[in-house]
Amino acid sequence: MARQFQFVAVSNPTEAPSSESKKLVYSHAFRQAHAQRRREQTEKHRKEIASAPVNKVFTISEEVVSSPLSQVLNSNKDPFSSMARPISAVEYFLLNHYVHVIVPFTVGHCGLFDHPGDHKTQLLREWVGLAITDEVFMIAAILLSTCRYILQAQPGNLIILQLALQYKQTCLQTLQQEMNTSAPVSIMTVAKALALALDEVTVGEHTIARKHLKGVLAMVDSSGGAGELGLTGLLERMYRKFMGVFKLELKDAGIDLLCNKTLTQG
């Protein structure tokens, strides 16, 4: 691969560089090195996916741990090593992309994290950590979400689009089955419905998202409320934020589900 050189303009090159000039040069070099590492990592993932057989899976260890969440938070180990089943090369790529790209982006841009706190750890612990314990919730919360994220940059990617359609169908079928049973409502079912509502908001389908939220409200109310059901932390905050906006919409149908702004009608 041909090496490319980039030049940084400095004033008075014959004089000893000032501390400010050194800072600018070091900062520029750091940014370039970081960008290069990101490009190399992306290309490595792309080649791994392209060369892996369709039926190849990554072996996941079944070591006994006190909680699957501890694996997510331990940077020295594979964050998915506590999953109950092997995952394919494509799934591994999507999971890895979610943790290293989407989680930092979400923490920096989502209105749920507009207050001080270690939001990255909370998102990994309470969202990703919950997802790796349930196959369908993992599909709804992570795999489908990552597909949407990729499709925003690559709308013509037919492989990712097909995966998104398959994931969506699986999630809807499972959620319908769970809601049609006589078993008590579970936190996992509520989490799946919230994840699907988020997905609908992502693709601009606010009307369908409202239907999911209406179902969430009915499930939580039938269980005696969020506290009685056991919603805590991030899930509880998601529920209360969405329900607050949902109730506002009973008065104003033009409220945006995520940021409480009026939607453009058309």
pLDDT value for 159 = 94
d(CA 153, CA 83): 29
Lookup: tokens for 198: 């988020």
The secondary structure of 189-250 as a DSSP string is HHHHHHHHHHHHHHTT-HHHHHHHHHHHHHHHHHTTSHHHHT--HHHHHHHHHHHHHHHHHT
Residue range 178-195, pLDDT digits in tens: 988 888 899 999 999 999
Lookup: tokens for 74: 């331990």
Q: Domain boundaries in the chain?
A: 45-249
Mean pLDDT on 143-167: 95
Lookup: tokens for 9: 């303009």
In angstroms, the Cα distances linking 248 to 190, 236, 263 are 21, 18, 13
- Is the predicted pLDDT of residue 54 greater than 60, yes or no? no
Which carries the bigger pLDDT value, residue 30 or residue 191? Answer: 191
- Is the predicted pLDDT of residue 39 greater than 70, yes or no? no
* Closest to 63 in 3D by CA, of 82, 78, 76: 82
Lookup: tokens for 44: 């490595």
d(CA 91, CA 170): 15
